[in-house]
């Protein structure tokens, strides 16, 4: 569970997806920048070294040429004396000239930009041979130019020969501790790299945060929705904006979650409705049972208290008790039948038989009651047989209930017409139309509910229990058929049962309930006893 997560093994690693992704981004950027930085600094170092060495050589050559030029311009040399004699001695006038402070400044501060050591020497076939008195040192006095720094190093000596002289000589120049641009350039580049790195890191953090936000926001919404669902809020869904904004995988997950929640809600509602109906059903059953039991108890008490002395009263009590017991028995049978139908325990005994005879038998059974009540009961049937797969006993039960209601709710001298006919689609229909009291439009949608009795039911000659039409609908639906009703108050009611050619053609509410077997015992439901 989310609340009892164990701390991570490494302790420091962030637990959240956002934290981890940000850390990963930062790590990748840091490593990349580190490697790039190393490479750049390394390459730049080599490049600047080369640049500097070229620069120092150029400066040294400049110094050498300047020195040679100064030596050649000395009056004694111009008069014909060699700068360096054949024994390796530098002309003293040259020495004096080059030792001057002004010359030293030019050589060290302007040309060499370093402490400069230069010496004259003879250029022979063996190479450069330094003169005995020709070594000069000029110290740098000026301040470095902007961007320059003093570098503690000694440059490679540069020798510039002057072979056009009578005695060929040369000058060897070495620069010590020069002012260079290298360190500053490198530190500039390193600083720039560091700044770039910091900016890249900041960008990485921002991008990681934005990316993870896009992922974690829908994830969080999903988590909240599942939490609420787990708490029992079955109407909870993941908001559509969270589904649309997230990555495709998460959008799919959100859609699936919502579909699952939808189905869950439907199932829960069905279970709740069933539970409520069962409660109502139980309450109705106990109420229905209580009335005849109370009546029986009263008769019993009256008889015990001596009413049996009066033979007329005794006979009346016994007769009424018998009627109540019949009613109890009828109620029990109906309840049993209905619960079997509902639970799917009843299997239809489907046979290909003439539907006309199934209907006719039920109508015949009801004719005595109709006659007794002064209601005309007629049956209209085609001449040719209607061969149809159906359960004859249960379809007979349907007709018995509908015709029974018709007779019950039709006043004397009215009529009940039963019609059975083949339908164009190969199925058949049974219509029971009466000229009775009719049903209130407001009550029409409820008449198939268990224990529902219309407000006009008590006006009619039967009290009923409100189970007859429930049984009708269950049996018809098991056949894959439908039952419809039309009614006008004061004019009459017409019930129309439609049965398909094949009972399985239209799937019934519960497919288990249709089977071709004769194992189910035929229900023995008598018409409702007279009140």
| Nearest distance, CB of residue 520 and ligand ADP, angstroms | 22
The end-to-end CA distance of the chain, in Å, is 64
Residue 177 or 333 with smaller CB distance to ligand ADP: 333
| Nearest distance, CB of residue 234 and ligand ADP, angstroms | 33
Residue 391 or 528 with smaller CB distance to ligand ADP: 528
| Nearest distance, CB of residue 237 and ligand ADP, angstroms | 40
72-to-5, 13, 75, 77 alpha-carbon distances in Å: 91, 77, 8, 6
| Nearest distance, CB of residue 479 and ligand ADP, angstroms | 18
Interacting residues of 339 by C-beta distance below 8 A, sequence separation 6+: none
The tokens 């700068």 sit on which residue? 83
Interacting residues of 156 by C-beta distance below 8 A, sequence separation 6+: 53, 56, 57, 174
Are 220 and 239 a contacting pair, CB within 8 Å?
A: no
Residue 82 or 436 with smaller CB distance to ligand ADP: 436
Residue 21 or 338 with smaller CB distance to ligand ADP: 338
Q: How big is the chain, counted in residues?
A: 531
b (16+ CB within 10 A) / e for 96-123: ebbeeeebbbbbbbebbbbbbbbbbbbb
Residue 82 or 466 with smaller CB distance to ligand ADP: 466
Residue 370 or 439 with smaller CB distance to ligand ADP: 439
3-class DSSP string for 201-252: HHHHHHHHHHHHHHHHHHHHHHHHHHHHHHCCCCCCCCCHHHHHHCCHHHHH
Task: Say how far apart CA 289 and CA 284 lie, in whole Å.
Answer: 9
The tokens 């006309």 sit on which residue? 356
| Nearest distance, CB of residue 450 and ligand ADP, angstroms | 8
HSE at residue 33, side-chain half, CA atoms within 13 A, is: 20
| Nearest distance, CB of residue 418 and ligand ADP, angstroms | 12
| Nearest distance, CB of residue 286 and ligand ADP, angstroms | 18
Give phi and psi for 45, each to the nearest 5. -55, -50
Distance from the Cα of residue 236 to its chain's centroid: 13
Residue 324 or 493 with smaller CB distance to ligand ADP: 493
Task: Say how far apart CA 232 and CA 234 lie, in whole Å.
Answer: 6
Residue 113 or 410 with smaller CB distance to ligand ADP: 410
Residue 61 or 369 with smaller CB distance to ligand ADP: 369
Task: Say how far apart CA 74 and CA 106 lie, in whole Å.
Answer: 17
- Contact positions toward ligand ADP, by CB under 6 A? 401, 405-406, 409, 434, 436-439, 447, 452-454, 456-457, 464-470, 493
The tokens 């279970």 sit on which residue? 271
Give phi and psi for 131, each to the nearest 5. -80, 155
| Nearest distance, CB of residue 367 and ligand ADP, angstroms | 17
| Nearest distance, CB of residue 276 and ligand ADP, angstroms | 20
Residue 216 or 493 with smaller CB distance to ligand ADP: 493
Residue 204 or 331 with smaller CB distance to ligand ADP: 331
- Minimal CA–CA distance to 105: which of 72, 61, 130, 142? 142
- Minimal CA–CA distance to 493: which of 386, 413, 402, 423? 402
Residue 193 structure tokens: 């790299």
Residue 115 or 342 with smaller CB distance to ligand ADP: 342
| Nearest distance, CB of residue 497 and ligand ADP, angstroms | 13
| Nearest distance, CB of residue 306 and ligand ADP, angstroms | 37
38-to-25, 184, 194 alpha-carbon distances in Å: 20, 17, 11
- Minimal CA–CA distance to 88: which of 136, 135, 132, 128? 132
Provide the 3-class DSSP secondary structure of residue 37: helix
| Nearest distance, CB of residue 469 and ligand ADP, angstroms | 3
Using Cβ positions, the residue closest to ligand ADP within the complex turns out to be 454
Task: Say how far apart CA 236 and CA 265 lie, in whole Å.
Answer: 9
| Nearest distance, CB of residue 529 and ligand ADP, angstroms | 11
Residue 267 or 286 with smaller CB distance to ligand ADP: 286
Task: Say how far apart CA 466 and CA 452 lie, in whole Å.
Answer: 5
């Amino acid at each position: 569970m989310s609340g009892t997560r164990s701390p991570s093994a490494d302790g420091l690693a962030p637990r959240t997806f956002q934290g981890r992704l940000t850390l990963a981004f930062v790590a990748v950027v840091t490593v990349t920048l580190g490697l790039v930085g190393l490479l750049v600094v390394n390459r730049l170092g080599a490049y600047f070294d080369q640049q500097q060495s070229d620069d120092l050589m150029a400066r040294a050559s400049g110094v050498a040429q300047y020195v040679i030029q100064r030596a050649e311009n000395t009056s004694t040399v111009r008069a014909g004396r060699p700068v360096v004699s054949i024994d390796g001695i530098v002309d003293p006038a040259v020495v004096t000239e080059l030792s001057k402070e002004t010359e030293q400044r030019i050589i060290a501060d302007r040309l060499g930009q370093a402490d400069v050591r230069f010496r004259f020497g003879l250029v022979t076939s063996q190479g450069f041979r330094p003169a005995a008195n020709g070594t000069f040192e000029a110290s740098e006095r000026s301040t470095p130019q902007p961007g320059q720094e003093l570098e503690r190093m000694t440059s490679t000596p540069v020798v510039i020969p002057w072979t056009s002289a009578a005695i060929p000589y040369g000058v060897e120049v070495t620069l010590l501790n020069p002012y260079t641009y290298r360190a500053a350039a490198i530190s500039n580049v390193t600083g720039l790299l560091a700044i770039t790195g910091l900016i890249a890191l900041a960008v990485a953090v921002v991008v990681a945060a934005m990316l993870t936000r896009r992922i974690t926001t829908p994830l969080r919404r999903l988590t909240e929705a599942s939490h609420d669902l787990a708490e029992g809020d079955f109407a909870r869904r993941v908001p559509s904006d969270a589904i649309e904004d997230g990555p495709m995988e998460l959008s799919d997950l959100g859609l699936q979650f919502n579909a699952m929640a939808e189905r869950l809600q439907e199932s829960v509602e069905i279970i709740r409705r069933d539970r409520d109906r069962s409660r109502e059903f139980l309450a109705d059953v106990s109420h229905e049972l209580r009335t005849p039991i109370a009546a029986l108890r009263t008769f019993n008490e009256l008889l015990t208290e001596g009413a049996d002395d009066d033979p007329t009263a005794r006979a009346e009590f016994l007769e009424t008790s018998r009627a109540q017991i019949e009613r109890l028995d009828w109620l029990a049978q109906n309840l049993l039948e209905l619960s079997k139908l509902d639970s799917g325990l009843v299997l239809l005994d489907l046979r290909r038989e003439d539907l006309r005879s199934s209907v006719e038998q039920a109508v015949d059974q009801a004719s005595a009651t109709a006659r007794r009540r002064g209601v005309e009961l007629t049956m209209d049937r085609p001449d040719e047989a209607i061969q149809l797969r159906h359960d004859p006993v249960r379809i007979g039960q349907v007709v018995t209930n509908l015709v029974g209601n018709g007779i019950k709710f039709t006043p004397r001298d009215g009529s009940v017409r039963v019609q059975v006919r083949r339908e164009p689609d190969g199925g058949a229909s049974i219509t029971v139309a009466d000229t009775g009291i009719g049903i209130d439009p407001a009550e029409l949608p409820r008449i198939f509910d268990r224990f529902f009795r219309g407000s006009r039911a008590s006006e009619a000659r039967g009290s009923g229990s409100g189970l007859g039409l429930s049984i009708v609908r269950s049996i018809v639906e098991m056949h894959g058929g439908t039952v419809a009703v039309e009614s006008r108050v004061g004019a009459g009611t017409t019930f129309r049962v439609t049965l398909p050619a094949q009972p399985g053609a239209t799937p019934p509410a519960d497919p288990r309930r249709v089977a071709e077997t004769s194992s189910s015992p035929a229900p023995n439901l008598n018409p409702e006893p007279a009140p």
